Amino acid sequence: MSQADVPSGDVQARIARLFVHPVKSCGRVEVREALVTETGLDLDRAWMVVDSQGTFLTQRQLPRMALIQPQIKALEVVLRAPGMLALHLGINEVESPATVRVWKDEVAAWDMGNLAGQWFSDFLGQPGLRLARFDPDAQRLASKQWTGEVDAPIEFADGFPLLVASEASLAGLNGRLQAAGHEAVGIERFRPNIVLSGVEEHDEDRFDEIRIATGDGLVRVRPVKPCSRCPIPNIDPATAESSPEVLETLRAYRADPRLDGALTFGMNGIVLEGAGRTLRVGDAVGADFWFD
């Protein structure tokens, strides 16, 4: 699409940053472009660490997962962690079928083998860990309570294909943190996929639809549910140490009545149109507000 094709809407914005998190709850990869699929950005939450019973694990239980840094290459994802040799995961390589549990969903997956399992067990200090790859033939859907008539497939994300946040929302939080004598934090603590510029603080909460003009057509994203926050934003991704100030600060102004007072930051979204198209940093965005 050309500049003349900038989507119309109540708000004009841009994609400021894009993030992919290949292994659920491990580090992020900031990218300049990302392929859109029905389940979100390509390779996002495609792998997941599970315990010996096949149940998913995150930074909630194992904060050191934050220190595992991925790199996406043409045919593999490379994981690095302090004191460990790199672990290479072939994007198209799996070893044996498995069944894993993520929240209330039990889904078919592929086990990535003993080497990957031992690597995570050694670094995270917990025996019996395995690494699973989502089975593309399996189907896991986002909650129809929030998606309505739309079937929105997901892989190992907590609940929805995409998470959208904005630079302005982070700036608002950081202003409050610094006023209270705390350090500013990075957007990576909130694990978004798409970060918008050119909007006001928490405008994303009230968007009915987000339209993104890509080089090969329109991508339409519907924000459907505010993202309620567990303790992970308190974890410093550089050190894996947790301190309470982020959630304590959000508690003063981000208790969301739509979720019984849960603290929210960012919006979960679903893909309405555009699977197979590529988002790029700088893409033009148009969005309309919804009103009760």
Give tens-digit pLDDT for 71-93.
Answer: 999 999 999 999 999 999 999 99
Model-level pTM greater than 0.85? yes
Looking at 62-112, which runs of residues are DSSP E strands? 69-72, 76-80, 87-90, 96-102, 105-111
Q: What is the pLDDT of residues 191-246, one digit of tens each?
A: 999 999 999 999 999 999 999 999 999 999 999 999 999 999 999 999 999 999 99
**Per-residue pLDDT band at 8 (split at 50, 70, 90):** confident
Determine the pLDDT at residue 39: 98
Residue ranges per structural domain of the chain: 3-289
* pLDDT > 80? residue 2: no
Determine the pLDDT at residue 291: 74
Q: Which fold has domain 3-289?
A: M1 Pyruvate Kinase; Domain 3 (2.40.33)
**Per-residue pLDDT band at 4 (split at 50, 70, 90):** very low
Whole-angstrom distance, CA of residue 136 vs CA of residue 133: 9
Percent of the chain, pLDDT > 90? 95
Nearest in space to 268 (alpha carbons), one of 231, 210, 214, 224: 224
CA distances from 290 to 10, 118, 160, 224, 227 (A): 10, 49, 20, 11, 18
Determine the pLDDT at residue 292: 63
Whole-angstrom distance, CA of residue 82 vs CA of residue 141: 35
Looking at 76-230, which runs of residues are DSSP E strands? 76-80, 87-90, 96-102, 105-111, 130-134, 162-166, 194-197, 207-214, 217-228
Q: What is the pLDDT of residues 61-74, one digit of tens each?
A: 999 999 999 999 99
Determine the pLDDT at residue 123: 98
**Per-residue pLDDT band at 3 (split at 50, 70, 90):** very low
Q: What is the pLDDT of residues 126-169, one digit of tens each?
A: 999 999 999 999 999 999 999 999 999 999 999 999 999 999 99
Whole-angstrom distance, CA of residue 4 vs CA of residue 160: 31
Q: What is the pLDDT of residues 171-184, one digit of tens each?
A: 999 999 999 999 99
Lowest-pLDDT range of 1-10, 31-40, 170-179, 270-279: 1-10
Parallel/antiparallel/unpaired status of strands 47-50 and 69-72:
unpaired
**Per-residue pLDDT band at 6 (split at 50, 70, 90):** confident
Nearest in space to 130 (alpha carbons), one of 143, 116, 109: 116
